[in-house]
């Protein structure tokens, strides 16, 4: 395919195929540095704290949480929606950008997909613990039982069960199928017998035959075609958890597109948080370049602006609807006792990404890193605002109440952060963080070449 010479190269440093293999395999073959050990001990500690708190919740009961009669959903569901949303960037990068033939995805799709899987795992934990008796979680699946009952197919909570489990499984398949050729590369590189055996087993006997590649390409394309509507459906269904219930502030038709945009927005922020550190620590700056960071920032500003418009539309429609409950819900959000959460949400999600209109800031790593954390916080507060402020003022003023998380809830959230980062740190030690084979396909057309003067 013709690529304009004016375009910035996607892979810098005039790499040969063999150099690409070596550079990307290096973090797995070398010994982990001090930073890695520090990272994993921190994330493991957080994970064990979370496990202890989950254990306490299950042992003692859901009463250890700050929920009450009025506010039945609080921290747990906020975290659930936040984590599912973060997962969406991975599928967006690997599926939707594949369908749009965006070559820059090849440097970031692998790690983003891994992030998707870990984020969805973390998300799935919350409804599970929220049930109170996780050992009976299989009740949510429609299986023939002695009570002769079926689950409620009309309930968006059940749709969620199907959406999240399908999303997790399909993402896992997509990610692993992409990994097979690269695991083959690792199998052929490692020296120790044990490692060779393990990678050999995991590579599924990959040979690189032309027929296999032909099928592999087809498979990736069709899986991408399936995953693209899937990712849009997942957060739409999550939003239906709220939108189908008759609670002012939740009962709106704007929710599905608004949630999907928000999910991709927060997901890209998390990808940036992870990759800005990863590229530095693993010396992959030639593969994940400033051009990649800038492209992601452009998606952040696009989706961030959609989120901003959605917030304003919500406000306008609540006034325009003439429904006093609806009007009160939004007035209470902005100026009620949780005004600070609303203010954090507005600042982080609407105002701060607008700074990315400046090219200098889009290409500034420190700024992008700080902004990505701001967006993560802002998107967490968005879910908190939607859930808690809509619930805390019930129709009956006698039911009005306030919500404050307990240490147990905070601990569980910290625990999922620990689980997420532990998984990611183990992943970068075990598998190539960049799709080696895919990068090789774009290096000729979009890699850095010696300066040619003939066309310019």
Partner 1 sequence: MRRYISAYFTDEEDLLRASKILMEKEISILDVLTPFPVHGLDKVLGLKESKLPTVGFIAGAIGTIFAFGFQTWAFVVDYPLFIGGKPHFAIPAFIPITFEVTVLFAAFAMVFAFLFRSKLGLGAKNKIHDERITDDRFVIIIDANESDEHFENVKNILEHEDAHDIQLKENQ
Give the shortest CB-209-to-partner 1 separation in angstroms: 5
Interaction residues for partner 1, span 100-129 (CB under 8 A):
none
Tell me if 363 contacts partner 1 by CB under 8 A: no
Q: Which of 49, 62, 158, 281 binds partner 1 (CB under 8 A)?
A: 158
The distance of closest approach from Cβ of residue 197 to partner 1 in the complex, given in angstroms and rounded to an integer, is: 11
- 213 binding partner 1? (CB under 8 A): yes
CB of 31 to partner 1, least distance (A): 22
Of the candidates 140, 89, 75, the residue with the CA atom closest to the CA atom of residue 119: 89
Q: Is 101 left (phi over 0), alpha (psi -120 to 50) or beta?
A: left
- Tokens describing residue 429: 């030690």
Q: Is 352 one of the binding residues for partner 1 (CB under 8 A)?
A: no
Among 65, 75, 159, 413, binds partner 1 (CB under 8 A): 159
**Separation in Å, CA 53 to CA 62, 76, 411:** 11, 13, 6
Query: Long-range pairs for 25-29 at CB < 8 Å and ≥24 separation?
Result: 25/185, 25/186, 25/189, 25/432, 25/436, 26/282, 26/283, 27/282, 27/283, 27/284, 27/428, 27/429, 27/433, 28/186, 28/429, 28/430, 28/431, 28/432, 29/189, 29/190
- Segment 411-440, which members bind partner 1 (CB under 8 A)? 437-438, 440
For residues 331 and 248, is the Cβ–Cβ distance under 8 A?
A: no
Using CB under 8 A, pick the residue from 45, 64, 166, 399 that binds partner 1. Answer: 166
Write out the binding residues for partner 1, residues 168-197 only, by CB under 8 A.
169-170, 173-174, 177, 180-181, 184-185, 187-189
Q: How many CA atoms lie within 13 A of 84 on its CB side?
A: 32
Among 233, 305, 347, 406, binds partner 1 (CB under 8 A): 233
Minimum CB distance to partner 1, residue 10 (Å): 15
Quick check: 28 and 186 in contact, CB under 8 A?
yes
SS3 state at 390: helix
Is residue 297 close enough to count as binding partner 1 by CB under 8 A?
A: no
CB of 154: closest distance to partner 1 in angstroms? 4
The encoded tokens of residue 62 equal: 């859901």
Q: Restricting to residues 238-257, name those near partner 1 by CB under 8 A.
A: 240
Decide if 1 contacts 445 (C-beta within 8 A). Answer: yes
216 binds partner 1 (CB under 8 A): yes
- Regarding 148 and contact with partner 1 (CB under 8 A), the answer is yes
Number of residues that bind partner 1 (CB under 8 A): 59
Query: What mask, x for binding partner 1 by CB under 8 A, covers residues 266 to 285?
Result: --------------------
Q: How many other CB atoms are there within 10 angstroms of residue 246's CB atom?
A: 7
Q: List the structure tokens of 319.
A: 């006034």
CB of 387 to partner 1, least distance (A): 21
Q: Pattern 5-24, binding to partner 1, x per CB under 8 A?
A: -----------xxx--x---
The neighbour count for residue 257, using CB atoms within 10 Å, is 15
Alpha helices in 61-154 (DSSP H): 75-91, 97-99, 109-130
Q: Return the CA Rg of the chain.
A: 23
**140 near partner 1, judged by CB under 8 A:** no
Residues that bind partner 1 (CB under 8 A): 16-18, 21, 142, 148-150, 152-154, 156, 158-159, 162-163, 166, 169-170, 173-174, 177, 180-181, 184-185, 187-189, 201, 204-219, 222-223, 226-227, 229-230, 233, 237, 240, 437-438, 440-441
């Amino acid at each position: 395919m013709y690529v304009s010479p004016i375009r910035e190269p996607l892979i810098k440093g005039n790499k040969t195929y063999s150099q690409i293999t070596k550079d990307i395999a290096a973090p797995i073959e070398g010994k982990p540095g001090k930073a890695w050990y520090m990272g994993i001990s921190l994330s493991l500690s957080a994970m064990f704290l979370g496990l202890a708190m989950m254990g306490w919740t299950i042992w003692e009961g859901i009463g250890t949480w700050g929920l009450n009669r009025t506010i039945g959903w609080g921290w747990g569901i906020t975290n659930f929606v936040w984590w599912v949303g973060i997962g969406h960037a991975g599928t967006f990068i690997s599926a939707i950008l594949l369908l749009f033939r965006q070559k820059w995805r090849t440097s970031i799709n692998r790690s983003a997909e891994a992030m998707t899987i870990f984020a969805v795992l973390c998300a799935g934990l919350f409804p599970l613990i929220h049930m109170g008796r996780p050992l009976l979680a299989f009740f949510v699946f429609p299986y023939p039982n002695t009570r002769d009952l079926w689950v409620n197919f009309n309930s968006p909570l059940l749709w969620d069960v199907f959406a999240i489990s399908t999303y997790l499984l399909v993402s896992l398949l997509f990610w692993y199928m992409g990994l097979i050729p690269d695991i083959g590369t690792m199998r052929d590189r490692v020296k120790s017998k044990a490692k060779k055996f393990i990678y050999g087993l995991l590579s599924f006997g990959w040979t690189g035959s032309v027929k296999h590649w032909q099928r592999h390409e087809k498979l990736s394309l069709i899986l991408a075609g399936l995953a693209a509507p899937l990712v849009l459906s997942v957060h739409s269904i999550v939003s239906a958890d709220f939108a189908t219930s008759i609670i002012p502030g939740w009962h709106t038709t704007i929710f599905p597109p608004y949630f999907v945009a928000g999910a991709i927005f927060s997901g890209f922020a998390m990808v940036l948080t992870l990759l800005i550190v990863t590229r530095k620590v693993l010396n992959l700056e030639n593969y994940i370049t400033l051009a990649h960071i800038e492209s992601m920032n452009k998606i952040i500003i696009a989706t961030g602006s959609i989120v901003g418009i959605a917030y304003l539309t919500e406000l306008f429609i609540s006034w325009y609807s003439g429904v006093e409950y609806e009007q009160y819900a939004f007035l209470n959000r902005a100026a009620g006792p949780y005004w600070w959460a609303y203010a954090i949400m507005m600042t982080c999600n609407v105002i701060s990404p607008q700074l990315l209109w400046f090219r200098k800031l889009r290409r500034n790593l420190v700024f992008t890193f700080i902004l990505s954390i701001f967006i993560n916080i802002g998107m967490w507060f968005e879910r908190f605002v939607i859930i808690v402020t809509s619930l805390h003022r019930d129709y009956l003023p006698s039911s009005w109440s306030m919500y404050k998380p307990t240490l147990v809830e905070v601990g569980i959230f910290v625990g999922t952060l620990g689980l997420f980062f532990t998984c990611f740190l183990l992943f970068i030690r075990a598998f190539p963080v960049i799709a080696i084979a895919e990068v090789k396909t774009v290096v000729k057309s979009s890699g850095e070449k010696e300066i040619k003067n003939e066309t310019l």
